[in-house]
Structure 1
């Protein structure tokens, strides 16, 4: 009986893998977003609904981070940016903040080898000032450990706020104009983009937000001028490959005219 069950499970998994490969092949035939940005929302509500502490929701959300990173890489997405901790999140309970600040260390221990095998580069967008030393060490470990990789760029938005980012960029431009490094007449959209945290990334083609909220929450306000938005009621810990594929299929059905008729 046990042997028959094992054979059934192996066959079921093979069917699932074959179906996923077919789905991937079909998606790759259509236009794919170069850069996908995700507002990962709903960890706390997911945990509360199950009578669990908010931290349990964040732990469950880490599994989704792994799954969606793999899915994006399998599709050949150029860049994936995950909104991990905003400048407003410091207002949360201290034990929750401490746990979130420790996640990069855990992720470094458990996932660095796979990221290297997959040729994924890891980076950060946000303000390093104010982050705990152990968090910064983990981020630096990711950067150094994947520096030689040439595939998908996986960026974590930590201590990130778009308004702060824009003001920071303006200050840098003012300093460069005052010092003579740049003439103010040289400043255009392209130049300004080089002063943002995302200077090494293309603007997001697709912005996804989970958990039913329909707002941007101070994320990439400059960069999403022509992004396609996709909102879902699914909470981040339950966000699956299938949901991710649905978002991309919806993206492929849209006509992106950038203001043209």
Structure 2
């Protein structure tokens, strides 16, 4: 009986030891993946995260300030608070003319091509124009117009019968001015340098176009959006519905 118990104990101990060895072998066989980025890559990643955090905090702070200002105005005058809110929404929707620091980018044909008699495309393709606008937005452009047409969130740029159209407005001839307004003159200087260093000029040159970037100015005028905005998925609220305000 004692011998039988000893055999059972030996089997149990052997099984436990075997299980532990198997776990150890699996751990050695599949090591934890390590971050192979170098010091500069880690610093760039950290800087990017800090910039993102700073932008989010700035946006939160701005929203909190607006809420506080709205609550303060609401106590003083509900009517004035409502008017100020409507004006802010009009500005954000692009329904008001904007003046501020910025710069102008002019799209023109390449003169060399004209001199040798090559046919010149009279406009700019929707794809090229969209790439330029995306790049401007990436570099903190706040308000933009193309050929005096205000660009807003619902703007449609597409090719219709071989003509590039912005919300129905045809870009049929050159030059075309792209006006940009930013928050301050310092940001305008930064935008100027970034566009100068980007591949935008090369992309336009490939399509026989020249992108001329003007020096930043303290005041650029962006026109208001002059088309009707299509509102979808919204319904008017009835008088007996809504909150208690």
TM-score, normalization: structure 1?
0.24
More strand per residue: 2
